[in-house]
Amino acid sequence: MPKTFFITTAIDYTNSAPHIGHAYEKILADVIARYRRLKGDNVFFLTGVDQHGQKVQQSAEREGVPPEQFVAGITEQFIALWDKLDVRYDAWAATIDPLHKTCVQGMLQRLFDEGKIYKDKQVGFYSVRQEQFLTDKDRNEAGEFGPEWGEVEQREEENYYFKLAEHKQWLLDFIDARSKAGNPFVVPDFRVGELRNAVEKIGGDRQSGSDRQSGSDLCISRPKSRLSWGIELPFDRDYVNYVWFDALSNYISFIGYDPSRSTINEQPSIFRDKWPALHVIGKDIMIPAHGIYWPIMLHALGFKDDQMPTLLVHGWWNLGGAKMSKSAGNVVDPNALADKYGAEALRYYLISEIATGSDADFSEGLLVADYNHALANTLGNLANRTLNMIHRFRQGTIKSSGLMALAESEVRSHLQTWSDDELKAGQTFYRDKFVDFRPSNALSAPLARALACNALVEISAPWNLAKDKRQEKLLDAVLYHLAESLRIIAIWISPVLPKSAHGIFDQLNWKMESELRGKEKRFSLADAEWGKLPDGHVVGKPVPLFPRIEG
């Protein structure tokens, strides 16, 4: 049995409502997952929410509700948004799940038993307001801790540490080996150098007073007196885990990882079938969490080099050049945009306007302009006029009479190349772009074909052909070409625009869902070949797919 393609996203903090950055990441992963299903792969898509931690505890306290109740409310908002945006995942990782807790505790206990976690004392300056130890980096130009830290006092605190630094050389070698093998750990690979530099900096002594893992090992605990909303350390009930073991472990706990077994071969088959993963994450959580802590945790748990995941690191959606974030107060609400323009318009914009890995500036004006150009004027117009003409000139029936029956003409040669060389080039281009995780580029295959079809309508002027008995065959060939291209376009857009793809198939009266047998899927990449609509096929009535957005 071929292995399952396992794709995950970052799990979002449940301290505030989702914004467009969260939506982008989940849609990007959804598009890749849908493409792999289209290709015929078994896919398992995991996403979810990161529900523990200080910020959640503080937000809940501010609202005067227990943290469980607070996270339940925000979690609902995420679930409802993914539903609205057609993000179709196979499993939901919510870190308050008892299954997750048991798995995290099992991992921590094993690492503790193996001497990979130790207790140590921190002495240093502590900000009571921000509830954290401070380092020299937090001092202002005058060398003082500024008023933003509130009261700062000397404190001593014992905590637990995970031995990170001893894996530094292994991680460097691993990153290099993956790059050398042409299978970089980080994609797009322009970030590999950045990660490598950060790994090089691991080491030296832990900075005195720091609980931020500035130099070497990773502090993984908080005394319960300071933070109670977390997973208890199994070997010391006075502490909770803080915070990356809890969050990162979701990638394995929710697919059945058994922490008591230290080799992958001993893991249950539901786990082995999926692992390793493609982790879709934003650039802000590559260093140190996903690029340093996570591979080292896995390595310490007994994962071998060929059992390490791959990081697909995307850029940020900015607003006026600045990263969108709740604290900066510049967030764009995906819910409101989906209500105003529809989920498909939002999906299209977020995927087509950003090259995977780069940043982009959010613009509602551009969302509308893109939609009107690509979807309303180009694709929607093509679908509408094609079906209208098939009804007007042929009572809804298409004929697949061969091109050879046609006299040599400009239109015939267009039809020939578009159904042959151009289609093959489009198929290769489309697949290649998805191999590189570049759905924004892949989208130019269906768009180029829709533009070419609209040009064909202008060149061939079917309304004139319909007036001339001698042009009957040419008219049939043009109409068939348009309908068949629409069918292929629907397959190609289906990962990004699933509802519209269904709409086009419905209107073509093709592979109607009620007629699908057994496990047969409505969309399959193998079907994006020329000539599948049979001679004499009767199409459905046109229904506007993408009404123009005015104003």
Binding residues for ligand MSP, rule: CB under 6 A, are: 10-13, 21-22, 24-25, 50, 247-248, 250, 281-282, 284-285, 316-317, 323-324
Q: Are 199 and 172 in contact (CB under 8 A)?
A: yes
Query: Based on CB atoms, which residue is closest to ligand MSP, 230 or 380?
Result: 230
Q: What is the rounded distance in angstroms from the CA atom of residue 503 to the CA atom of residue 384?
A: 11
Q: Which is nearer to ligand MSP, 175 or 324 (CB)?
A: 324
Element at 278 (helix H, strand E): strand 278-282
Best CA proximity match to 407, nearest among 360, 359, 345, 472: 472
Q: How far is the CB of 25 from ligand MSP (least distance, A)?
A: 5
What span, in angstroms and rounded, lies between the C-alpha atoms of 39 and 44? Answer: 14
Residue number of the CB closest to ligand MSP reads 282
Sequence-ordered list of residues with C-beta below 8 angstroms from that of 379, at least 6 positions apart, any chain: 446, 447, 450, 489, 493, 500, 545, 546
Q: Which is nearer to ligand MSP, 13 or 523 (CB)?
A: 13
Cβ 71 to ligand MSP shortest distance, Å: 12
Residue written as token pair 């764009």: 332
The Cα–Cα gap between 231 and 105 comes to: 8
Closest to ligand MSP by CB, 106 vs 357, is 357
In the complex with ligand MSP, which residue's Cβ is closer, 25 or 157?
25
Least Cβ distance, residue 185 to ligand MSP (angstroms) = 16
* Nearest in space to 222 (alpha carbons), one of 244, 204, 200, 202: 244
Q: Which CB, 248 or 539, lies closer to ligand MSP? A: 248
- At 466 the three-state DSSP class reads coil
Nearest approach in angstroms of CB 158 to ligand MSP is 26
Max Cα separation, the chain?
95
Shortest separation between residue 89's beta carbon and ligand MSP, angstroms = 15
* β-sheet bridge partners, residue 123: 156
Return the number of the residue (22 or 191) whose C-beta is nearest ligand MSP.
22
Minimum CB separation of residue 207 from ligand MSP in Å reads 23
Q: Which is nearer to ligand MSP, 125 or 294 (CB)?
A: 294
CA distance 296 to 245: 11
The span from the first CA to the last CA of the chain, in angstroms, equals 53
Q: How far is the CB of 350 from ligand MSP (least distance, A)?
A: 10
Asked whether 250 and 48 are in contact (CB, 8 A), the reply is yes
**Sequence-distant (≥ 6) Cβ neighbours of residue 79 within 8 angstroms:** 92
Residue 450 tokens read as 């829709």
Q: CB 103 → ligand MSP: shortest distance, Å?
A: 14
